């Protein structure tokens, strides 16, 4: 039975504030840190699990506060009953809904319970779920933000490929549309036609602009064009996907399985990009993955590669995982990368351990129950 839960609100500083199209349109400020919510859970027979959720720019304190309120409902429960516990926690905070911040707070618990379950079985999480592969194609995003000068952009892209990463994604959505094309041209010329290349507009185009830019980008042979429109514009994404040869990718900003289902039902995405911490954890991700598989969609989970590597390895169709090195200071372990792929760790569970540095970045912490 669960006897102890520890919650930690951690602020991870970024070395350089990053900007994408949302910053250039004035909708957001540059991002200088990531707020993370860690949940550590222990049982009376000595088993433990760790999970996390996160937010960018705002929401970290809210996630921590909600998790702190509902965490006591886990004490005395069987940690194997993960689906039932997810539902119990949702109903504990039912008045604040079943998506967004409320379920993002629950994701940390859910992921910790799956981590514990895999550890109890002595298996990596991917193997517990039923892996289709031991490694997954990976691409880098963190070197391609709009604040990065084009010379550095090209250098970052080359370094990623030289470091064993399989593809490169760069941000687009610059007020000068020609600048987007110049940056794409520079990267494509540097990498050649054989390296997979993606572009991400971060929801900042309207429908006419997305059509024009999508057509202008066709010759780059992109693996996908990401978030060309508002995340909730399912009809607009569907119309765009129908008129472009370039696959359309979206989904990372959605906060529930139900919201993703609207995209899937509308035919709005060739590539679905769910984020397990954003949609409520692994339990919800698995439901969404089943829907995506039924529609024969490609899968490319957003961010949090430490979690998504396992989930992508268990998806039937060959997926992609997004490589971000931002979270490296938080964990003792490193994901192994080579030959364009990210390898599933052989360690049980998620295979992650918090560093002492992560403890020093903790802003708030609370414990419920007593650690065995």
Please give the positions annotated as active site. Answer: 171, 302
- Is 129 in contact with 286 (CB distance < 8 Å)? yes
Residue count (the chain): 372
Closest CA to 114 of 300, 327, 224, 276: 276
- CB-side neighbour CA atoms (13 Å) of 84: 7
Q: Are β-strands 362-369 and 2-18 bridged in parallel, bridged antiparallel, or unpaired?
A: antiparallel
DSSP 203-269: T---HHHHHHHHHHTGGG--S-EE--S-TT-HHHHHHHHHH-SSPEEE-TT--SHHHHHHHHHHT--
- Counts for the chain of helices (H) and strands (E), in that order: 14, 14
Please state the residue numbers annotated as binding site.
20-22, 56-57, 169, 200, 202, 226, 252, 322
Strands of 2-18's sheet in order across: 48-56, 31-43, 2-18, 362-369
- Is 111 in contact with 279 (CB distance < 8 Å)? no
Please state the residue numbers annotated as binding site for Mg(2+).
200, 226, 252
Strands (E), 260-372: 271-272, 298-299, 320-323, 337-338, 341-343, 362-369
Dist. CA 358–CA 42, nearest whole Å: 19
């Amino acid at each position: 039975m669960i006897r102890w839960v520890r919650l930690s609100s951690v602020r991870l500083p970024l070395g350089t504030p990053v900007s994408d199209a949302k910053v250039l349109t004035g909708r957001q400020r540059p991002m200088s840190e990531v707020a993370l919510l860690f949940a550590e859970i222990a049982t009376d027979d000595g088993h433990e699990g760790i999970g996390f959720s996160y937010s960018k720019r705002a929401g970290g304190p809210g996630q921590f506060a909600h998790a702190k309120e509902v965490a006591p409902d886990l004490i005395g429960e069987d940690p194997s009953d993960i689906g039932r516990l997810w539902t119990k926690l949702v109903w504990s905070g039912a008045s604040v809904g079943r998506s967004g911040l409320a379920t993002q707070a629950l994701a940390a618990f859910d992921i910790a319970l799956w981590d514990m379950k895999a550890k109890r079985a002595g298996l990596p999480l991917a193997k517990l779920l039923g892996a289709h592969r031991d490694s997954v194609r990976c691409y880098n995003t963190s070197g391609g933000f709009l604040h990065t000068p084009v010379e550095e952009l090209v250098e970052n892209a080359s370094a990623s490929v030289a470091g064993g990463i399989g593809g490169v994604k760069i941000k687009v959505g610059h007020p000068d549309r020609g600048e987007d094309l110049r940056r794409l041209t520079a990267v494509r010329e540097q990498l050649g036609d054989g390296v997979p290349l993606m572009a991400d507009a971060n929801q900042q185009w309207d429908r006419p602009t997305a059509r024009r830019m999508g057509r202008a980008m066709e010759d780059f042979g992109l693996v996908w064009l990401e978030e060309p429109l508002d995340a909730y514009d399912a009809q607009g994404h569907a119309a765009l996907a129908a008129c472009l040869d370039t696959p359309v990718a979206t989904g990372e900003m959605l906060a529930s399985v139900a919201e993703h289902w609207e995209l899937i039902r509308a035919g709005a995405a060739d590539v679905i990009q769910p984020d397990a911490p954003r949609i409520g954890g692994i339990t919800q991700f698995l439901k969404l993955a089943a829907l995506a598989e039924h529609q024969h969609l490609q899968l490319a989970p957003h961010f949090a590669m430490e979690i998504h590597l396992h989930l992508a390895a268990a998806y039937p169709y060959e997926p992609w995982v997004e490589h971000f090195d931002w979270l490296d200071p938080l964990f003792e372990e490193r994901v192994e990368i080579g030959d364009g792929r990210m390898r599933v760790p052989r360690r049980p569970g998620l295979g992650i351990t918090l560093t002492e540095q992560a403890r020093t970045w903790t802003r708030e912490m609370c414990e419920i129950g007593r650690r065995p």
